[in-house]
């Protein structure tokens, strides 16, 4: 009889120990996850600080080079922009020429069709100007 009286309290005690163990392990896992996130955040902040430092260093180097170097870099950028704009405009013109040749060769040439092609070219030119201004 005494064994039967002890079985229920012992099973309750064991169940509580098992549940407590699971709860403890889940809390430990949660804490490790939080610490991992904090470590990652600190590493990212450190990387950002390093990048800012490098950017500041580059800016100081640019300042030390003088205005002539900056002017040269700006001129190169401007030349590249103009070159890209000219390429874009020439593509728009060649498309228009191709559309016109097709229109004339098909025998369906009309003023309305030619005007439509001109409008398409104007839209493409505007897109070029927007893109490279």
pLDDT, tens only, 61-87: 766 666 677 777 888 888 888 888 788
Note whether 23 and 46 are same-domain residues.
yes
Per-position b or e across 110-125, b if 16+ CB within 10 A of its CB: eeeeeeebeeebeebb
Note whether 59 and 72 are same-domain residues.
no
pTM assigned to the model: 0.43
- The count of structural domains within the chain is 2
Domain span including residue 80: 67-133
Residue 54 scores a pLDDT above 90: no
């Amino acid at each position: 009889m005494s064994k039967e009286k002890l079985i229920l309290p012992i099973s309750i005690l064991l169940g509580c120990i098992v549940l407590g163990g699971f709860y403890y392990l889940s809390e430990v896992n949660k804490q490790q996850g939080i610490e991992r996130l904090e470590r990652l955040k600190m590493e990212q902040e450190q990387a950002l600080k390093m990048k800012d430092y490098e950017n500041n260093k580059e800016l100081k180097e640019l300042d030390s080079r003088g205005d002539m170097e900056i002017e040269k870099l700006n001129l190169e950028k401007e030349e590249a922009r103009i070159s890209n704009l000219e390429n874009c405009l020439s593509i728009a013109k060649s498309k228009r020429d191709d559309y016109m040749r097709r229109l004339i060769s098909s025998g369906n040439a009309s003023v309305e069709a030619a005007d439509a092609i001109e409008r398409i070219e104007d839209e493409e030119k505007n897109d070029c100007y927007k893109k490279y201004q």
